[in-house]
Every structure is written in C-alpha cells, then in structure tokens.
Amino acid sequence: MKQRILPLFLALLLPLAGCNSRPATPAAPDATGATSRTPQVNPRSTGAGFDFYLLNLSWSPEFCQSHPAAVECAMHATFVLHGLWPENNDGTYPENCSNAPGPADPAQYKDIYPDLGLLQHEWQTHGTCSGLGADGFFAAARTAFQLVKIPPTLSGLKSQISLAPDQILASFTATNPAIPQSSLALTCGSNYLTAVEVCLDKSLHPVACGAVRSCRANTVRIPPP
C-alpha cells in the first residue's frame, strides 16, 4: 500500500518501480503501526472524480541510507517530489482512471522526474485521475512542488537529529505561513522521517487534510543528505 510520505537539484525523484511499493523510503508503517493511506474501498473509474490533491515530498536521505549507490544520492538532496495524488475526503483515492497518453515530450519534466519510467507511472496511476491532460498535470505537479519552501533546519542539516512530528510540521508552517498545519501530514517508517505531505485543492491552495493520517511516533530520526 502506498505511503503518506526550490532549486532544481532538489527535484530529483527517486527511481522507484512504483509509488504503491514505496515513496522514497521503505513502505512501512510508523512506530504505532499507522499509515497515511487508508484502503481504497471505493475506487473511482473516471477522471476529476476526487476531492483534493496530496502532494508527497519524500525525504531523500532516508532512501539513500539503504541505496547509497543510486545515482540521485550523489546530489545529496533533501526533499524530492514523489507525486501529486488525487484523494477523496473519505480516505479513498482513485487510480488508473484511463489509458490516456502521457506527455509528448517527457524530457521537459526531468527537473521533477528525471526517471522517465517513474514519470509514466505517476501519469498512469495518478495523473489520469486528475481530469487534466498530461502536460497540465505535470505542470501542476511542478507548480505545487515549487510552492513549498523547505525549512532551514532541514535544508541545512549536517548531522542526524530527532524531532517530534509536530515540530517538523511546525517548521514547515513557520517557513510557509500560507500553509496551515492542518494542511500537512508527516509519514515515518521505523521511526525515521520518510515524507512530508501537503493537502491542496484543485487550484493548488492548501486545504485541511481530513482523513489523511500522520505519523504518531513520539520522535522521528532525520538523517542528513
């Protein structure tokens, strides 16, 4: 099950077989066994039939701890874009809504998806449910990603630290005053930070996350880039 987990160098995306297996770090529950996603009990079959977007920003250093030879790990990025995912207020989410073709020129999105196979996966699994064409969807993903500023505490991290989830999310609201903490969620695995997520309406404005579940660990460890 898929987890709830700027300058161009931060836009490197981790080479994954698909986001249902892991965002950028192990697809594991948090310390309490909770995960951000609830089961897809009522999948939709048509595009635009969703309530809001979930922007997933994966913490690259956690992935690189177990995949040090991965090409993108040489860039020592912090948060990278995993995806912009249509979500429903009841906790369900649509996937694989059509066979619409992906972008005619995928290379124009290498700043956010250098792995073009993953770009195609994100389009097929999530983009086809957005009600947008491929170029519109990836332009929206880029815009959403660039809207979020990374807190200095994390962008300048030099050594591993431990923080409570609420402290991490509070640092995001302090750096991004237009994003309230109710629009944020955090995911963790084995007490390590895996992703920060932002709930956005279809115009990419922050909205309350509702049924999106956040990490409930007392503290999470954050390795440096």
Question: How would you classify the pairing of strands 52-59 and 161-163?
Answer: unpaired
Sign of the dihedral through C-alpha 166, 172, 177, 182: negative
| DSSP 8-class letter at 128 | G
Q: Single out the catalytic residue among 62, 72, 95, 126.
A: 126
Cβ pair 161, 184 in contact under 8 A: no
Question: Phi then psi for 84, rounded to 5 degrees?
Answer: -115, 110
Has 197 been annotated as catalytic? Answer: no
Element (H, E) at 199: strand 192-200
Q: Single out the catalytic residue among 62, 95, 122, 197.
A: 122
- The residues, ordered by sequence, that sit 6+ positions from 11 with a Cβ below 8 Å of its Cβ are 80, 81, 111, 112, 145
Instruction: Map tokens 């954050």 to a residue.
Output: 222
Q: Single out the catalytic residue among 62, 72, 82, 197.
A: 82
Instruction: Map tokens 């996937």 to a residue.
Output: 95
Has 72 been annotated as catalytic? Answer: no
| DSSP 8-class letter at 211 | T
- Give me the active site residues, please: 82, 122, 126
